[in-house]
Amino acid sequence: MSRLSQVVVGLLLISVGYVLGASQTFQTPTLQAQQNSGTPTEETEDKIKRGVKQLVEAQLALEQENFMRTATKGLNTFAVSCGGVNAMDDLEAGNGVDPETFAGLYAGLAKPDVAAQLGRDDQGRITYKNKIVRMYPVSRLKKLFATRLKYTGESQDDASSF
């Protein structure tokens, strides 16, 4: 076979390969068991509503028993699931707050008396009475997550598998 015919056959093979690849003739279709509609099913929404109602009741009970003081509006599911935290004392001490309080302060959900004491430093971080608001140290978070296991019924091994 001459050099020219080898080049032509090579270009022909490359062209055929390109056309087959571009047309996706041999590609298997992607299968999905269920298409997401963008919202949970009505059954799941009902479960969420029932769960939130119970969390609200638990937060009220924790507040009445002085195990919890929030600095943000609404439900603090993290604090409730850990048996309560005193976000107000945490803010005053400047040693950090729980993750949900931290997020709530940045999202503009501070209670009015807390909001009056909030500001921002030159780097845009939230401050409370001119102290930077930080999240709890890892050691405190680990303790809270360990306490939460008491309420979830999981073992330490179950929780660490996530």
The structural domain count of the chain equals 1
Predicted local confidence at residue 85, as pLDDT: 97
Residue 51 in domain: yes
Residue 126 in domain: yes
Predicted local confidence at residue 30, as pLDDT: 62
Q: Look up residue 28 and give its DSSP letter.
A: P
Strands 126-128 vs 131-132: parallel, antiparallel or unpaired: antiparallel
Predicted local confidence at residue 149, as pLDDT: 94
Residue 162 in domain: no
Tokens of 59: 């937060």
> Mean pLDDT in runs of 10 for the chain (162 residues)?
75 75 71 68 95 96 97 97 96 95 97 97 96 96 94 70 48
Distance CA 83, CA 68 (A): 8
Whole-angstrom distance between the N-terminal and C-terminal Cα of the chain? Answer: 62
Distance CA 153, CA 161 (A): 15
Predicted local confidence at residue 33, as pLDDT: 57
pTM as predicted? 0.71
Each residue's pLDDT tens digit, 38-78 = 889 999 999 999 999 999 999 999 999 999 999 999 999 99
Residue 100 in domain: yes
SS3 of 94, please?
A: coil
Residue 90 in domain: yes
Residue 71: count of CB within 10 angstroms of its CB: 29
Distance CA 13, CA 23 (A): 15
SS3 of 65, please?
A: coil
| Structural domain boundaries, residue 77 | 47-149
Q: Tell whether the torsion through CA atoms of 144, 147, 153 and 158 is positive or negative.
A: positive
Residue 34 in domain: no
Predicted local confidence at residue 158, as pLDDT: 55
Residue 156 in domain: no
Distance CA 113, CA 129 (A): 12
Residue 160 in domain: no
Distance CA 39, CA 144 (A): 31
